[in-house]
Chain A
Amino acid sequence: MATTSVMGGAVKRREDPALIKGYGSFVDDMTPTRVAHVAFLRSPIARAKITKLDTSAAKETEGVVAVYTHDDVSHLGPLLAQVPIGKLRPLLADGEVNHVGEAIAMVVAENRYAAQDAVDAIDVDYDVMTPVIDLKKAKSDEIKVHDELESNVLHTWTYHGYWDALGLEDQTAEVDAAMERDDAVVVSLEMTNQRLIPVAIEPRSVIADWNPGYGSFTIHSSTQVPHALGGAVSKMFGLKSTDVRVIAPEVGGGFGCKLNVYNDEILVAFASQALGRPVKWTETRREAAGATIHGRGWIGTATLVGTKDGEFLGYKLEAIADMGAYTQNFTVAIPLLGLWIASGQYKMPVSWTVDCVVTNTMTTDAYRGAGRPEAIYYLERVIDAYAREIGMDPLDVRVKNFWQPDEFPATMGCGFALDSGDYEGAVEKLKAEAGYEDLLQKREEARAEGRHVGIGIGSYVEVCGFGPAVLAEIGFSWANYGLPASFNGSGIVRVNPDATVTVVIGTGPTGQGHQTTWAQIVGDGLGIPVEDIKVLHGDTREHPMGIGTFGSRSLSVDGAATFEATKKVREKAARIAAHILEASADDIVFEDGGAHVAGSPDKRAEWAQIAKAAYQAHTSPEDLDSGLEAHTTFSPGNATWPFGTHLALVEVDSDTGDVKILDYYAVDDCGNVVSPMIVNGQVHGGIAQGIGQALFEDAVYDEAGNMLTGSLLDYPLPTAADLPSLHLSHTVTPTDVNPMGVKGIGEAGTIGSAHTIVNAVVDALSPLGVKHIDMPLRPKRVWAAIQEASN
């Protein structure tokens, strides 16, 4: 059945039939003729000089085609970065290694087994050096990671000083003065927001195919940013952008870890060009754990000062963020995303300092939320501790300090303005959905029975919809990859002669359902059934300039561009319909798969007639160009600022330290909703990743820099049996930043959930005197905290 009523409707996904039948096409599913396979020799040592690197035996191994080391590829330069503060990653180790997993040599062989055999035959000697792993030690510069850098501290972000051009006022004195007030209650918590491994279930994979005849590359890669990869390859190899075609087919999850351009992608392209045949590499899970970017990795102290009756007077954060050994795409800029939401949903002065330090570990970069979960975690944990200190309900204390609906757009101390919000509205909805009063009662009853039941509250505001041109001025620049500097979005809408529609977008989805959501947007705008609309993405030769899918930006930036393009197509179609019907374009109405003259439903032109007419000069108006297509670029004036409040009910087994989530409620507001089905799916997955951080996940390097969590046995992800069903609901506060009033929902669940769980566990154990436990709250750690509090 044709589906025409689409915006706000749950249209079954267009992506699914191939994926559920086993016919989805991921990069590793492709095997071009004559393809050769790559395996990398990676460092097992965190920090060392390479004193010997002998590849002669490897080159003699059966099935080996070539072995490459740094000198073979050094002419291409180090890996590009968007924010190139720090040391850029060499493509292959340049006489030294700086983290476990760093690529030292690349083997190309006839099959993947032979490639791995040859890696084992490479002879390397290391002069092991003392690595820098601990963040405080890194900051002290006692040992410097890179001799050529002045300090291990690559950059320090401050709330007022992150961009001089804004001329912001330093609020530190105001916060400090508040702490001296007689009625001040000052609460501090030193907390870790641990390093995480993103773990897309599809390992990254790349196939490069150099055509010596045309002098051009075709590259298939499991990436969120096909245009950036294409730009990087053309820049590094000195090619025209038209000679590099990047295709991102089905991509099996990204969560930020596929938003970098990686050295392995460049190296595989190099090998293909050198050998004149297609070359393929698919990472192993161990490589995904040690050589694909990590996220988070902060330590710090959050301090909230307020009055005894719950009025916030100021907030201070002093933290150190781990950048890893080399700077990649956003690396040093990640904490800045947190800075912009440092004050959360609250109106108060902020003092916020984050030192970005280099260590002998894998690079950190954007992992779902990217800086924002860290910032919100510190803020919302200390708010919770403050509420407990003054004996106030954690929801009441939040509501008391929210920005009010009539204060939007609300300009924060960081210079950005929150676009729209009704924060208390979300809290009211949460209370109703969760039955808050009953839950409080239940908790008391459970406690009376000696059970350790807790309620955790977590609010958040996030910043997303990255598109504002101002970001390029601050220093985020895609120009380093040979792309336009800004974060604009684009969309092409083309009605074909048979009245089907082709929509072409510059995003790089990894499961977000763009083929469906975009079909809904265009279908709604044109009155054409979604079944007749084909959405294409991820091919740089065919598709408009785009910077990919990340930062919950696709719908509010590229979606808005497509929305505008749809309007233009409709306007042109109205002129053609008016020509056919001998009426005025202003009187044309689109309805039921065609157009008619307002007030005269019988005077109709079907889409098939209009589309055909558009492609024939003699049937379309003389002053109109042929075709029925529009390409629009959209540059939003501001980011978008979704928000929400979550609630978790947990029970802790005090004998074992085991945490069980009894119930989870979330109210999220992402503005207008195109597909409630897909929005809920995004929130489910986001919350699961937040719970993963709160309870299970931890990327651990020991003091010697060994990666202790290189497999999924050592790095436990939440399983189905670990999670409850989730109660989701929404409030709708549209934004005026884009014409659709949408905000973005990809990261909200993650940003809202980790602190909600920790707040709940601390609430459960607060009668025992537990004030804080660092994530992940695995049984051993929880049990130890209980023991410590009771002794």
Chain B
Amino acid sequence: MTVNGQEVTADVEPRTLLVHFLRENLRLTGTHVGCETGYCGACTIHVDGQPVKSCTMLAAQADGASVTTIEGLAQNGELHPVQEGFWERHGLQCGFCTPGMIMSAAALLAENDNPSEDQIRHGIEGNLCRCTGYHNIVRAVEYAGAKVRGEEPPAPDWEGAS
């Protein structure tokens, strides 16, 4: 398979999960395991451009696929607009769900760069965050959407913000 633009080849046990292959064989530990059952979304990556929960996919199933993980999202040292949005709008606290959340949000914006709040909320509802109450994650995605569209992002909503 291709991971973040690099060809990788390995022999693995048939039962090896894709997320374990990425984390343990390739040492790409930005993709996290939160629940092993596909509910929390911390393990979300892109497989052939689509968001996929890598704890419910076998490594062998990704044979020949093109995989992008959080480590491969920034291009040429430039943060992806969603990564920038998370930093600018305090879209993360502990940061554990963040890579998966960013991958889902990036996939959402790739399909629709001007989603409504409701579309954002439904677009990321497969990713659980226990820290932020999602409020600032939604603001982060709105920020990123504006950036993608080449518009000025809305101002932050905390007191004293300009």
Contacts and interface: CB of A to CB of B under 8 A. Distances in A.
Given A9-B160, A676-B158, A677-B156, A511 B30 contact: no
B133 A21 contact: no
B120 interface: yes
A689 to B, nearest CB: 7
B34 A685 contact: no
A33 interface: no
B69 A22 contact: yes
B94 A201 contact: yes
A519 to B, nearest CB: 15
A12 B121 contact: no
A633 interface: no
A201 B93 contact: no
Nearest to B31: A22
A670 to B, nearest CB: 12
Interface residues of B, number: 63
B149 interface: no
B87 A29 contact: no
A31 interface: yes
A523 interface: no
Given A684-B136, A719-B128, A720-B137, A20 B36 contact: no
Given A20-B79, A684-B132, A725-B138, A252 B94 contact: yes
A22 B88 CA distance: 17
Contact of B95 (A9, A511, A688): A511
Interface stretch (A83-91, A569-577, A710-718): A710-718
A513 B87 CA distance: 12
B83 interface: yes
Given A16-B95, A510-B94, A689 B37 contact: no
B33 interface: yes
> Which size class do A's interface residues fall under?
35 or more
B71 interface: yes
Residue from A203, A250, A510 having most chain B Cβ neighbours under 10 A = A203
B96 A720 contact: no
Interface in B120-162: 120-122, 124-138, 156-161
B95 A19 contact: yes
B74 A21 contact: yes
Interface in A698-714: 711-713
B133 A16 contact: no
A622 B23 CA distance: 56
Consensus secondary structure, chain B interface:
loop
B87 A720 contact: no
A13 B90 contact: yes
Interface string B7-42: 000000101000000011001111111111101101
B40 A201 contact: yes
Contacts of A31: 24, 27
A720 B159 contact: no
A29 B29 contact: yes
B85 to A, nearest CB: 9
Contacts of B131: 253, 511, 681, 685
Contacts of A749: 133
Contacts of A678: 90
Contact of A201 (B36, B37, B97): B97
B98 interface: yes
Contact of A513 (B29, B93, B133, B157): B93
B96 A512 contact: no
Contacts of A730: 159
B130 A681 contact: no
Contacts of A725: 117, 135, 138
B14 to A, nearest CB: 11
Contacts of B83: 20-21
Contacts of A720: 120-122, 124-125, 127, 129, 134, 137-138
Contact of A10 (B42, B73, B138, B156): B156
A113 B159 CA distance: 50
A721 B74 CA distance: 27
Given A23-B30, A253-B131, A721-B122, A15 B95 contact: yes
Given A250-B95, A720-B124, A726-B133, A24 B35 contact: no
Contact of B133 (A15, A26, A685): A685
B161 A676 contact: yes
B35 A20 contact: no
A680 B90 CA distance: 10
A284 interface: yes
Contacts of A718: 133
B138 to A, nearest CB: 7
B86 A16 contact: yes
B70 A21 contact: yes
A335 B125 CA distance: 34
B109 interface: no
A211 interface: no
B92 interface: yes
Nearest to A26: B96
Given A17-B87, A253-B131, A511-B95, A285 B36 contact: yes
Nearest to A202: B96
B18 to A, nearest CB: 15
B51 interface: no
Residue from A25, A285, A711 having most chain B Cβ neighbours under 10 A = A285
A512 B98 CA distance: 15
A511 B126 CA distance: 21
A676 B161 CA distance: 9
A725 B135 CA distance: 5
A512 B35 contact: no
A516 to B, nearest CB: 10
A684 B135 contact: yes
A253 B130 contact: yes
B134 A688 contact: yes
Interface string A711-745: 11100011111110110111000000000000000
Nearest to B120: A720
Contact of A20 (B86, B117, B161): B86
A711 B130 contact: no
B35 A711 contact: yes
Interface in A175-222: 199-203
Contact of A16 (B71, B92, B127): B92
Nearest to A726: B135
11 contacts: A28-B29, A200-B94, A201-B32, A201-B130, A250-B95, A251-B94, A252-B32, A253-B130, A285-B35, A511-B95, A684-B133
Shortest Cβ-Cβ A-B pairs, 10 listed: A22-B30, A252-B96, A511-B94, A19-B95, A688-B133, A511-B93, A22-B70, A29-B29, A684-B133, A712-B39
Interface of A: 8-10, 12-13, 15-17, 19-26, 28-29, 31, 113, 199-203, 250-255, 282, 284-285, 510-513, 676-681, 684-689, 711-713, 717-723, 725-726, 728-730, 749
Given A253-B96, A684-B134, A684-B135, 17 more contacts: A10-B156, A10-B160, A19-B99, A28-B32, A29-B23, A200-B94, A201-B34, A201-B130, A250-B95, A255-B130, A511-B92, A681-B93, A684-B132, A687-B133, A717-B128, A720-B122, A723-B133
